Amino acid sequence: MRILSIETSCDETAVSVVEANGSFPHARYTVLGNALFSQIDIHREYGGVFPMLAKREHAKTLVPMLEKALREANMLTPDERTLSSAETSTLMEMLVREPGLGDTLISFLEQFGEPDIDLIAVTTGPGLEPALWVGINFARALATSWNVPVVPVNHMEGHVLSSIFDGETLPELAFPAISLLISGGHTELVLMKEWGTFERIGETRDDAVGEAFDKVARMLGLPYPGGPEIGKLAAEARAAGIETPVQLPRPMLDSDDFDFSFSGLKTAVRYAIEKKGADKLTREDRLGLARDFEESVTTVLLRKTMKAVEHHGAQTVIVGGGVSANSYIRESFVSLFREKYPMVTVYLPPRDLSTDNSIMIALAGHAEKDSAEAPSHLSTLAADGNLALGETSEK
């Protein structure tokens, strides 16, 4: 089956075409087309993601991404036709809240024939609701026009699948597995006893780890998104042997649970900067703070994940979400698990699938389609900004 997947939960507009041969999770996958537009440059000016701006950019970029993915998949066939006025008004009505998208979609549909797609997968949460809705309404419009079913996808489930996907297949996982999901909006430890079951055993009590990276970066005068910027400074500090000007805390390192807290760590960086005076902060100070911040985060993430592995006798660890692109976190997980728990297999996403993408949404859509529930009725699809893992939102 051929799956068209759509991701618009945050600041990436992504569309893919993935062919699945076989049933989930034993299928062989071929990525036929993959298009992604990152809005980072647009949001950078404002130092973060603004939901309404993200929404507008998604509406502008979805059709070009659809066209690019289909072209790459060799599924774009020129075919001039005129939509009936009934069809036009149905589509315009579905996209009434997404300015400009109705017109560009209709002009696309009048230029190109119906592609051979069996299923549309779309992210319905978690994420920024105005942004999610653009993808959902777009999926509904395409599904109506092409008469193809739609499945709602949980974005975080996508991240889990991203981490274990080797480009063609999904591995035979040894259960129980522990997933550590670290992104701009999430920090959680999830126990998976088998495919498709997700039990959250720990989470952040305040900031998500990616959010902390972004906020600390901002304090250090670095551009958005701050994660990769902090990573660069920290690596430079490590290579040059530069230490932190003040020791930062390791929050909740020994707490008797699987929870996290990063807002105190962020505040500790602010105090360190204020104590010295922001204008007197040397480059060395900034390097040292970036390094200690990254090491604090890594130490806490590792300690809590190891504790969860021991407590639940896990045989597999899956690290996913945008922050798992961080080199220091990646290397630390691999080397510490190899040393202390060599029987545990650690999965990390390939770097290009660490941050948001639509290939992971196609995989999760395939899982959803092969689960007990039938594809959704179009009218019940709904965005849910706070959607929990293991759930797909429907009205």
Contact residues: ligand KG4, CB under 6 A:
10, 183-185, 210, 213-214, 225-228, 231, 321-323, 325-326, 355-356
Q: Give the list of residues 6+ apart from residue 149 with CB closer than 8 angstroms, or none.
A: 119, 120, 143, 375, 376
Name which of 125, 135, 71, 128 is nearest 105 in CA terms: 135
- Closer to ligand KG4 by CB, 43 or 140: give it: 43
Q: What are phi and psi of 113, to 5 degrees?
A: -75, 170
39 makes contact, choosing from Zn ion, ligand KG4, none, with CB < 5 to 8 Å by partner type, with none
- Closer to ligand KG4 by CB, 176 or 184: give it: 184
3-state SS, residue 208: coil
213 makes contact, choosing from Zn ion, ligand KG4, none, with CB < 5 to 8 Å by partner type, with ligand KG4
To ligand KG4, the closest distance from the beta carbon of 214 in angstroms equals 5
To ligand KG4, the closest distance from the beta carbon of 46 in angstroms equals 15
Does residue 183 interact with Zn ion by CB under 5 A? yes
Residue pair 51/131 in contact by the 8 Å Cβ criterion: yes
To Zn ion, the closest distance from the beta carbon of 57 in angstroms equals 17
> Which residue among 12, 285, 356, 384 contacts Zn ion (CB under 5 A)?
356
125 makes contact, choosing from Zn ion, ligand KG4, none, with CB < 5 to 8 Å by partner type, with none
- Closer to ligand KG4 by CB, 270 or 351: give it: 351
- C-alpha dihedral, 235 to 240 to 241 to 245, nearest 10°: -80
To Zn ion, the closest distance from the beta carbon of 10 in angstroms equals 6
Question: What is the rounded distance in angstroms from the CA atom of residue 304 to the CA atom of residue 180?
Answer: 9
Burial of residue 254 (CB within 10 Å: 0-12, 13-18, 19+) is exposed
Name which of 121, 177, 183 is nearest 364 in CA terms: 121
Question: What is the rounded distance in angstroms from the CA atom of residue 321 to the CA atom of residue 319?
Answer: 7
- Closer to ligand KG4 by CB, 226 or 251: give it: 226
To ligand KG4, the closest distance from the beta carbon of 174 in angstroms equals 25
Alpha helices, H only, the chain: 40-44, 51-72, 85-94, 101-111, 129-146, 155-164, 209-219, 226-240, 263-276, 283-312, 327-340, 359-370
Does residue 7 interact with Zn ion by CB under 5 A? no
142 makes contact, choosing from Zn ion, ligand KG4, none, with CB < 5 to 8 Å by partner type, with none
Name which of 104, 95, 97, 101 is nearest 144 in CA terms: 95
- Closer to ligand KG4 by CB, 102 or 152: give it: 152
To ligand KG4, the closest distance from the beta carbon of 355 in angstroms equals 3
To Zn ion, the closest distance from the beta carbon of 172 in angstroms equals 25
- Closer to ligand KG4 by CB, 130 or 227: give it: 227
- DSSP assignments along 95-117, one per residue: TTTSTTHHHHHHHHHHHBPPP--
Q: Give the list of residues 6+ apart from residue 190 with CB closer than 8 angstroms, or none.
A: 160, 178, 179, 180, 181, 198, 199, 200, 201, 389
- Closer to Zn ion by CB, 57 or 356: give it: 356
To Zn ion, the closest distance from the beta carbon of 226 in angstroms equals 16
Q: Residue 385 carries which DSSP code? A: T
225 makes contact, choosing from ligand KG4, Zn ion, none, with CB < 5 to 8 Å by partner type, with ligand KG4
325 makes contact, choosing from ligand KG4, Zn ion, none, with CB < 5 to 8 Å by partner type, with ligand KG4
Half-sphere exposure (CA, 13 Å, Cβ side) for 243? Answer: 3
90-98, 215-223, 355-363, 367-375 -> range binding Zn ion (CB under 5 A): 355-363
207 makes contact, choosing from ligand KG4, Zn ion, none, with CB < 5 to 8 Å by partner type, with none
- Closer to Zn ion by CB, 2 or 159: give it: 159
- Closer to ligand KG4 by CB, 235 or 246: give it: 235
| Cβ neighbours of 197 (radius 10 Å) | 13
25 makes contact, choosing from Zn ion, ligand KG4, none, with CB < 5 to 8 Å by partner type, with none
- Summarize as ranges the residues that interact with Zn ion (CB under 5 A): 183, 356
